[in-house]
Structure 1
Amino acid sequence: MTDVNPPRKLRNGQIVRVDSAIWPRTTIDTVLTSFVREKFQTFVFLEGEQSFWLDEKFFHVDAGHGSNRRPKALTFALKRNTEIRLLRGTSSPLNKVSITSPIGWMDEMEISGTSRSASIVDFMSGHLNHLVWEPGPEVVALAEQVSAPPRWLGNDMLPLYRTARGFDLMISVCRKLSGEGENQVPVHSRTSASQMERVRDFIMDNLHEDFHIEDIARQTGTSVRSLQRKFKDFYGETVFEFVRNARLERAREALLRDHISVSDASLVAGYASPAAFATAFRKRFGEVPRRMRAALRES
């Protein structure tokens, strides 16, 4: 797994840092844990998918592959040092761009309090406030320019070129948070965030149970209609998709970490048929479970 631009610490006074990473495949063999400092960050996923935790909040972003590519973006604010845990990778390519700023970037730019967007201030004020959104053509084009800059640029001009695109991307992110762009996804209120966290926690604690969406709504104090709408806004996928993918992630972890059989892994994922499990597993991770286990043993 090769990062074409290894992450760097923000220098004093640096308002925006832009990094890009292209991996032919992500081959994290075990759950990788580290810590990241407080910051304001956006990932633009041009292709591929990634699953990770920031503290206890789980994220799975899937931008698709090839002809099914559909870029996704994740913006979040970290108010303190935060644990990050990366799940095992996939055999499919991953191409993403990150835009990072210090959490106090508005202070460093000396933006007066009266000039600050209330939506942006509210977003920046809460630890792990986040937004999953679909970038428009302008944002995708900027991210692609960062990922694959013109060949004629010399090494002396490349940092300037990427920083300029980073500021343009930063403007687009701020427009998204303040509701000025097209097809805006509203910034999550703290009440909605707390409610959706309860929903997610209930699902993760009861993955082994055969529950329905009505059960989730009743147990978490929300309506089915509100649950369906808000959950997709927060996590970028429907409740059904989240449950299915979370069960498959848990089955893969048990398959590789605990060396259980494929039949037992299919039960962990909620499939009565190992053949149906293998089909869903391959669609999710790019290869059948038996082959993944064999590759791990060989390594």
Structure 2
Amino acid sequence: MAITTDVSRGCERPQVSCAEISRQMHHAGTDHTFIRPDLEPSDNAIEGRFLLCRLKSGIVLHATEIRDLHEMTTQLVAGPDLTFFVVLDGLVDFSIDNRQFLAADRRNALRNADCSALMLTEHAVMTRRAHKGDRTRKVTVSVDGDWLAEMADGSNGQRLRQFTTSHLSHATWRASPRLLALAEQILNPPDHCTVLRDMYIESRSIEMIAEAVSTLGGEDAPAITTGLATRDARKARAARDYIEANLDKVLSLPEIAREIGVSPTSLQRRFKAAYGTTVVDFLRARKLDKARDALERDGLSIGEAAFLAGYSNPANFTTAFRRAFGILPKAIKR
């Protein structure tokens, strides 16, 4: 595929560095970071074809045909937007604000020829886990509020409004031959001049959105996993932000609920719906993440890391750590 920097602002190099990926990711969101491993900006993260750009129509297009070079975890603050994606080959492993959508368990990962839609009504943290040697071919198109307002008009409006006003709404269906053909054409555009190739890619992206919207709002629409109403999502996010800002403190469910102005029961319900886990389990997992980072980067002792994670007994910390990460703390301690 011949992608030019004029059109895509992307890459057509055999290998793509961490710095180049981060530079391109501003089209999809903010605060893109490589969490693990500790790679230098000049280190190559993937090899293959990588295209990420904002088209003249306002659509954000992300088309990749890549092989991951490391076991990696990356994060990005995304949304608000509606995203359609087609996975032509390989596995996709990512979560939104710790709620897993496509490939929480790689045995049940999204496989060939599926199309999905995901709605974010507010900013959210997207985490991608890449597995060394995995190959992925996918095309993703995202649209913002202006597009959503226009798409919700007409006979399909009610179904689309239901989907697009609920944070973390999600649907998956088998991609049609036409949708697969459009994705393939975006990945492999003809060797036109720059302007014509731009037009070709953009027209196919718009057609992808039109077909996906028609399916999502049609009479035979796929089953929808409904997310949270915006107000509930904000309360859940406020609780999450409060936890993140106070990881070094001893927190309790009643305290967190009181801080954001809801009852503990209401908080548990909203938090579980938003993130797929309880407040206590999320807090425990984040403290373990912080302890792991301290072991890797700061050289803390296992006892110090255990205290940081809220464990008075290092043996209990070691058990919890191995359950969470599959390795012992001493295996990563500097």
TM class by shorter chain equals: 0.5 to 0.7
1:6 to 46, 50, 61: 50
Residue 204, structure 1, aligned to residue 244, structure 2: yes
Query: What is the CA–CA distance in structure 1 between the aligned matches of 2:57 and 2:107, rounded to whole Å?
Result: 41
Q: Which residue pairs with 1:131 in the alignment? A: 168
User: 1:85/1:212 Cα in 2 relative to 1: closer, same or farther (>3 Å)?
Assistant: closer
Q: Which residue pairs with 2:223 in the alignment? A: 182
User: 1:25/1:97 Cα in 2 relative to 1: closer, same or farther (>3 Å)?
Assistant: farther
2:119 to 70, 75, 87: 75
**1:209-220 to 2 correspondences below 5 Å:** 209-220=249-260
| Secondary structure of 1:222 counterpart | coil
Query: What is the CA–CA distance in structure 2 between the aligned matches of 1:236 and 1:113, rounded to whole Å?
Result: 32
| Secondary structure of 1:8 counterpart | strand
Q: Which residue pairs with 1:253 in the alignment? A: 293
Quote how far apart the aligned CAs of 1:132 are: 5.9
Q: Which residue pairs with 1:48 in the alignment? A: 93
Quote how far apart the aligned CAs of 1:284 are: 3.4
Q: Which residue pairs with 2:140 in the alignment? A: 98
Answer with 1 or 2: which has the greater Rg. 2
Query: What is the CA–CA distance in structure 2 between the aligned matches of 1:124 and 1:264, rounded to whole Å?
Result: 46
**Larger RCO (CA within 8 A; separation ≥ 6):** 1
Residue 231, structure 1, aligned to residue 271, structure 2: yes
Quote how far apart the aligned CAs of 1:119 are: 7.9
Q: Which residue pairs with 1:54 in the alignment? A: none
Quote how far apart the aligned CAs of 1:239 are: 1.8
User: 1:7/1:182 Cα in 2 relative to 1: closer, same or farther (>3 Å)?
Assistant: same
User: 1:36/1:182 Cα in 2 relative to 1: closer, same or farther (>3 Å)?
Assistant: closer
Q: Which residue pairs with 1:56 in the alignment? A: none
Quote how far apart the aligned CAs of 1:224 are: 3.1
Q: TM-score, normalised by structure 1?
A: 0.61
Query: What is the CA–CA distance in structure 1 between the aligned matches of 2:247 and 2:78, rounded to whole Å?
Result: 29
User: 1:281/1:40 Cα in 2 relative to 1: closer, same or farther (>3 Å)?
Assistant: same
Q: Which residue pairs with 1:19 in the alignment? A: 63
8 Å CA contact 1:25, 1:94 repeated in 2: no
Of residues 61-70 and 115-124 in structure 1, the stretch that sits farther from structure 2 once superposed is 115-124
8 Å CA contact 2:119, 2:163 repeated in 1: no
Question: Aligned residue pairs: how many?
Answer: 264
The amino acid across from 1:267 in the alignment is F
User: 1:73/1:112 Cα in 2 relative to 1: closer, same or farther (>3 Å)?
Assistant: closer
| Secondary structure of 2:54 counterpart | coil
Query: What is the CA–CA distance in structure 1 between the aligned matches of 2:86 and 2:188, rounded to whole Å?
Result: 25
User: 1:105/1:12 Cα in 2 relative to 1: closer, same or farther (>3 Å)?
Assistant: same
The amino acid across from 1:138 in the alignment is R
The amino acid across from 2:243 in the alignment is I
Q: Which residue pairs with 1:263 in the alignment? A: 303
User: 1:49/1:253 Cα in 2 relative to 1: closer, same or farther (>3 Å)?
Assistant: farther
The amino acid across from 2:299 in the alignment is H
| Secondary structure of 1:9 counterpart | strand
CA RMSD in angstroms, aligned pairs only: 5.0
User: 1:168/1:271 Cα in 2 relative to 1: closer, same or farther (>3 Å)?
Assistant: farther
User: 1:227/1:276 Cα in 2 relative to 1: closer, same or farther (>3 Å)?
Assistant: same
Uncovered stretches (5+) of structure 1, i.e. residues with no partner? 52-58, 295-299
Quote how far apart the aligned CAs of 1:234 are: 1.7
User: 1:197/1:269 Cα in 2 relative to 1: closer, same or farther (>3 Å)?
Assistant: same
Percent sequence identity is 25
8 Å CA contact 1:44, 1:74 repeated in 2: no
Quote how far apart the aligned CAs of 1:74 are: 5.0
Of residues 266-275 and 10-19 in structure 1, the stretch that sits farther from structure 2 once superposed is 10-19
Q: Which residue pairs with 1:280 in the alignment? A: 320
